[in-house]
Amino acid sequence: MELDWKNLSFGYLKTDYNIRSYYRNGSWSEPELTSDETVSLHMAATCLHYGQEVFEGQKAFRGADGVIRIFRPEENAKRMQSSAAYLKMALPPVDLFVDMMKRVVKANERFVPPYGTGASLYIRPLLLGTSAQVGVNPSQEYLLLMFVTPVGPYYKEGFNPIKVMIDRDHDRAAPLGTGHVKVGGNYAASLTSGEIGHEKGYPCVLYLDAKEKKHIDECGGANFFGIRQGTYITPRSHSVLPSITNKSLMTLAEELGLKVEQRIVDYEELATFEEAGACGTAAVISPIGSIYDPSNDRTFVYGDGTKAGPNCEKLYHRLRAIQYGEEPDTYGWMVEVK
Ligand code: PLP
Ligand code: COI
């Protein structure tokens, strides 16, 4: 394989196989591996018109010992179930989901980046409503599909701090809407602010709560955390996606002797954090160097704005060491692909 593993970006590269299971007449079909990169859909499929689509994101890592491991796939399975339940879709069973994930990784083993390159194999499960409806109703049939693609860092900054912009003019999710589930529509709703951010030189947009704009929610594709006086603080909000990375970091933060608070985080607290970061499967931990709020021209700077703080650094290294099999998997998070 002649891929330039160390310089992969976060994008789609063709691999050998994807895997599919179909839900029809109340049951899921035996998963099938295929090399077909396309999906054939009825033109009235609910995923096309009414956004009846949910997805997930996870990674597989080649460890120091050569073994391939997936990070907490059951958590993704459970989150896909909660997303599917909200959109009135059929729920893929956890065992089916995890089994398909292992199989699609195994079938594409040659695309799992070598240990030491810092790259990984990104896994993208999606669930689509496939049967024809014209009225706004749930589909009768569903397709669960998983593809993989080798990836490098989501933000080109890698572990260098990113610049973040607050967007008060657009919301990604309504206060009692779909922010807590991983539906495609949330990402469609974030494209306008994402583009505004990119044009102004900010790779990441931070959203405030949609109702009052007083509290911190999250970034378009990652949770937010701040660290102050030995405490890891992360927002609790109905419109934030429960991040598996963040959940894991809360565990590791306690292990490192930090206190952990998951609660409503006021906008004004941005001025009090010593460190801040964005975290997620794609983003891993992206330290935040500064946050700019165009509405009042304020900038919140963390450290000198160019270096990750000491706690971000420790959390990042501990998480990566578990994922790459360098340190004991104390919490049983890694699932081997045999
Ligand atoms: N928040 C949003 C909106 C996301 O899209 C993601 C990515 O999945 C996350 C947070 C991070 O979640 P996780 O750590 O489970 O990848
Ligand atoms: C992930 O981290 O897996 C995500 O789905 C975020 C997405 C914006 C790439």
Model pLDDT for residues 130-147, shown as the tens digit of each residue? 999 999 999 999 999 999
* Domain spans in the chain, listed from the N-terminal domain onward: 5-151, 162-318
Kindly give the distance from the C-alpha atom of residue 206 to the centroid of ligand 2, in angstroms, as a whole number: 15
Q: Which two tokens stand for residue 204?
A: 């990441």
* Residue 243 CB–ligand 1 contact under 6 Å: yes
CB-CB contact of 318 with 285 (8 Å): no
What is the per-residue pLDDT for 153? 85
Residues 314-332 as b or e (16 or more Cβ within 10 Å = b): bbbebbbebbbbeeeeeee
Kindly give the distance from the C-alpha atom of residue 43 to the centroid of ligand 1, in angstroms, as a whole number: 30
* Residue 57 CB–ligand 1 contact under 6 Å: yes
Known catalytic membership, residue 211: no
pLDDT, tens digit (0-9, with 9 covering 90-100), for 162-195: 999 999 999 999 999 999 999 999 999 999 999 9
The one-letter amino acid code at 263 reads R
pLDDT, tens digit (0-9, with 9 covering 90-100), for 43-92: 999 999 999 999 999 999 999 999 999 999 999 999 999 999 999 999 99
Kindly give the distance from the C-alpha atom of residue 54 to the centroid of ligand 1, in angstroms, as a whole number: 13
CA 327 – CA 329 distance, rounded (Å): 6
Pocket of ligand 2 (CB under 6 A): 57, 221, 280-282
What is the per-residue pLDDT for 303? 93
* Residue 281 CB–ligand 1 contact under 6 Å: yes
Question: Which ligand is the nearest neighbour of the Cα of 223?
Answer: 1
**How many other CB atoms are there within 10 angstroms of residue 201's CB atom?**
9
Q: Which atom of ligand 1 is nearest to the CA of 247?
A: 14
Helix (H, G, I), strand (E, B) or coil at 317: helix
DSSP 31: P
Q: Which residues contact 69 (CB under 8 A, 6 or more apart)?
A: 60, 61, 63, 323, 325, 334, 335, 336, 337
Kindly give the distance from the C-alpha atom of residue 134 to the centroid of ligand 1, in angstroms, as a whole number: 31
CA 148 – CA 11 distance, rounded (Å): 11
- The CATH-assigned architecture of domain 162-318 is Alpha-Beta Barrel (3.20)
Question: What backbone phi and psi angles, to 5 degrees, belong to 58?
Answer: -150, 170
Q: Which two tokens stand for residue 195?
A: 């583009």
- pLDDT(293) > 90: yes
The one-letter amino acid code at 276 reads A
What is the per-residue pLDDT for 1? 63
CA 131 – CA 43 distance, rounded (Å): 9
CA 329 – CA 265 distance, rounded (Å): 31
Question: What backbone phi and psi angles, to 5 degrees, belong to 5?
Answer: -55, -35
Q: Take atom 10 of ligand 1 and give the residue whose Cα is closest.
A: 222
Does the pTM surpass 0.95? The reply is yes
Q: Take atom 2 of ligand 1 and give the residue whose Cα is closest.
A: 221
Instruction: Just give the CATH number of 5-151.
Output: 3.30.470.10
Going by pLDDT thresholds of 50, 70 and 90, the confidence category of residue 157 is: confident
CA 272 – CA 178 distance, rounded (Å): 30
Whole-number percent of the chain with pLDDT over 70: 100
**Same fold flag, 5-151 and 162-318:** no
Q: Which is nearest to 315 in space by CA: 254, 224, 249, 261?
A: 249
Q: Which atom of ligand 1 is nearest to the CA of 58?
A: 16
CA 303 – CA 153 distance, rounded (Å): 22
* Residue 171 CB–ligand 1 contact under 6 Å: no
Q: Take atom 9 of ligand 1 and give the residue whose Cα is closest.
A: 222
Kindly give the distance from the C-alpha atom of residue 115 to the centroid of ligand 2, in angstroms, as a whole number: 22
Q: Which atom of ligand 1 is nearest to the CA of 186?
A: 3
